[in-house]
Chains A and B, each alone.
Chain A
Amino acid sequence: MEFFMEYGGVILAILGAAIAVFVAGIGSSAGTGMVGRAAAGLIAEEPEKFGQALILQLLPGTQGLYGFIIGFLIALKLVDGVNLAQGLYLFCAALPVAVVGYLSALRQAEVATSGLQILAKNPSHATKGIIFAAIVETYAILGFVASIIMLFVTYGSV
């Protein structure tokens, strides 16, 4: 118990940082993997469409980046020392980017895969497929910004 009171804060905070990185990262790697597989099939036939196919593949990759940055910023908070309450707080601050990042990466990958159909059949409108996929990104950005606000605006009040 004494151990937990002394180190619990650090443990929870670093657990939060880890979750932000790996949960969002799993989502992104699954997402980019899914679009990448589908894109490879298209590129086999029409290699000149690589550029736009690559953008579609990269879109579900951003959630992993958001998660990585939140994890990084949480880890930086450990420098000043954290008590148990702060540690729990930092753990919670990791959740928006982790959970929304994970799920939105999967959904975005589905839209991006469908976007490849536009690229294959009607390439002059391929930008629209990118836009559809980028709309899903909104909620990952909101999750990321929510985590940022928790880390930078309200952290001082704990």
Chain B
Amino acid sequence: MAIVKMRHFSLLFPEEKKAELIGALQRFEQVHFHSLDPEDEAIHDFMRRDGPDQTEVDLDTEMAQVRFALQKLAPYDMRPTGLKALRAEPPTLSYEEFCGFAERFDRRTVCTALKQADDTISAMKQEAARLQAFIEELRVWERLDVSTEALSTLRTTEALFGLVNRAVLDGLITTLSSHFPAVYTEIVGQIKEDALLLLIIPKDQLSPVNEQLRALGLTRISPGFEGLPERLIVESKAQLAACQAAETEAKATMKALAVHCDDLRTLLDWYETLAARAETSRSFLKSRSVVLCEGWLPDDQVDAFVDIVTDCCGDTCYYKLEEVPVDSEEVPIKLKNNPLVAPFESIVEMYALPKYGEIDPTAVVAPFYTFFFGLMVGDMAYGLLLVLGTLLALKLFKLSEGTKQFMRLFMCLGFGTLVGGALYGGFFGYAVFTPITMPDGTKKAILDSSLDIVTMLAASVVLGVVHVLFGIGVKGYMLLKDGKPLDALFDSVFWIITLIGGIGYILALSGMLPPPYSEWAKWAFIAGVVGLALTQGRSSPSIAGKLGNGLYAVYGISSYVGDFVSYTRIAALALSGAYIAFSFNLMVDMFPGWSKIVVGGFVFIVGQALNFGLAALGAYVHTCRLMYVEFFGKFYEGGGKPYRPLRLINKFVKVEK
């Protein structure tokens, strides 16, 4: 339950050891390096920024190639998808196997073969499309039973092709045969509404015939091929079949190459691991032969760190370990909590990590969060679904550590929801748990969602008061821990006295608090207000300023009213969830006879699933809001930097260390 204590280190080592040492520290996965600036200090005068060594592999190009290969192989990849993927074990390697993977796996052969197959596929596709278009074009000329070459060798006559609308076709033929009987006319095909004509004209009649044809509406066209159409079609079809065969063959090659998908992914992980190393070395400084690096590591890992460094460099290195001052702004923050509250770290992280000198609020967030969430969802069945669903997911699926924590978070919230549901007695919107007997003999839940709405709203506000006062209490605790008891008294205890006294006084005015307590509340309120007015402006230099700021702080009480009212959202979300479930159940009951089971069952499942999703999302968001605004506002500042140690990158494989 805390922020992990960190140690700062500076390390000087010979440059030839760099690759080995940085590899060992990456495997260690505990060291967070920080960037050194060569312009920073006088001692760095003779040093300049380090960077990645020129290695034999150009990482960026290699990674791009591997990614390209994976992308091209994706349609043939036999990796399980969907639910199966969640159950599948990733390929597992030892650390040594992982490091040597790039040498053992012949990526060039795979990539070259893949590139070839891919090029073939796209070339063949293009060629096939061209051939198909050509065949389509030839089909128009299919009835032409003479080759275009033969026509071009005519000596005394000339052959020409033309298009004419079919409506005027008969007229054209009649006119031609009556005026120029020597002209040969044949219909060889048609394009849409036009007939395609072959005309063979004696050369001496060429110009009058042409004139006549133009007048009759004939457009001349020339064929886009050479030879006999029928034969050309047969040839093209043969070529097309060859293209398609080549494409199929290339696809088979791709499919055969797809067995390397896992290897390629492993390689990608390895390259990413190398890239992380190269990136880290940019934060180092170096002279001609020595490299300097600095960073942090958890206090309990110091011994292991020293072992690694001395194993690697023997006595050729120099290191210095320092305590980190509590007010350090630079130190990275790692949270460590017991397994029960650790899932709630994500809630705190989403707002902001604490600073090194602050406390980690996870442990106080966890119980309130669980309870508030449970009260907002407030249905035993939904609680049961959450607990069982997350339990099954954790048992059956291979999940990443982050997803596992998320599942554990919602399992915890599921238990809260069971408690909240028991209070309202709801199970899928049906009142099931009704332990209280009414005066007229009917039974009801502890908090009935139609009879006790006002009680629910009031209870929400009471929870709000407890939560906010707890937050102010935590602030007092933090001030005490920092050795500022007077500040704890002024900024925490005075506020608590004022708020409790004030609430008591209001209750007394409405007759709900009997004397002598009403008198105590009144005086506590007055004492608190006076105390606040006198102390809250203490940072001002002048007396008038102190008093003015003090009085202004007292005015801040009004903001607490807003804070408390904000908690009524707990009751509002509970009511909305309960009534949506109730309405769907009413609808189910309206179906007569058998349809109640079939159609009604469908309405029930869809409606309840919708309400469950809405209620869970709403409760998650609104509990976060209550934590961030009303609760954290009282004591928590945050702004720490996250702890990001240099790690092996294992997106696709599991490396045993």
Contact = CB atoms under 8 A, between A and B. Distances in A.
Contact of B618 (A73, A76, A137, A153): A137
A65 B610 contact: yes
Interface stretch (B55-63, B472-480, B488-496, B567-575): B567-575
Given A134-B617, A145-B575, A145-B576, A72 B610 contact: no
Given A134-B617, A134-B621, A69 B453 contact: no
Interface residues of A, number: 24
Contacts of A72: 583, 586-587
B450 interface: yes
A144 B582 CA distance: 14
B450 A152 contact: yes
B350 interface: yes
Nearest to A58: B613
B130 interface: no
Contacts of B614: 62, 65
A144 B614 CA distance: 14
Contacts of A148: 575-576, 579
A69 B583 contact: yes
B583 A134 contact: no
Given A72-B586, A148-B579, A131 B572 contact: no
A72 B453 CA distance: 21
A76 B582 CA distance: 13
Contacts of A152: 450, 453
Contacts of B579: 69, 73, 144, 148
A144 B587 CA distance: 18
A37 interface: no
A153 B617 contact: no
B575 to A, nearest CB: 5
Nearest to A127: B350
A28 to B, nearest CB: 13
Contacts of A76: 586
A141 interface: yes
Contacts of A55: 617
B576 A131 contact: no
B111 interface: no
Nearest to A140: B576
A153 B621 contact: no
Given A65-B580, A72-B583, A135 B621 contact: yes
A103 to B, nearest CB: 18
B572 A141 contact: yes
Interface in A120-136: 127-128, 130-131, 134-135
B572 A142 contact: yes
Contacts of B572: 141-142, 145
B618 A141 contact: yes
A152 B583 CA distance: 13
A73 B621 contact: no
A21 B469 CA distance: 42
A43 to B, nearest CB: 17
Interface string B337-375: 000000000000010000000000000000000000000
B622 interface: yes
Contacts of A141: 569, 572-573, 576, 618
B625 interface: yes
Contacts of A127: 350
A149 interface: yes
Nearest to A133: B621
A144 B576 contact: yes
B624 interface: yes
Contacts of B573: 141
5 nearest A-B residue pairs (beta carbon):
A134-B621, A69-B583, A145-B572, A152-B450, A145-B575
30 contacts: A55-B617, A65-B580, A65-B610, A65-B614, A66-B580, A69-B579, A69-B580, A69-B583, A72-B583, A72-B587, A73-B579, A73-B583, A76-B586, A127-B350, A130-B617, A131-B621, A131-B624, A134-B617, A134-B618, A138-B569, A138-B622, A141-B572, A142-B572, A144-B576, A144-B579, A145-B575, A148-B576, A148-B579, A153-B450, A153-B454
Given A135-B621, A144-B576, A148-B575, 7 more contacts: A69-B580, A72-B583, A72-B586, A76-B586, A149-B453, A152-B450, A153-B450
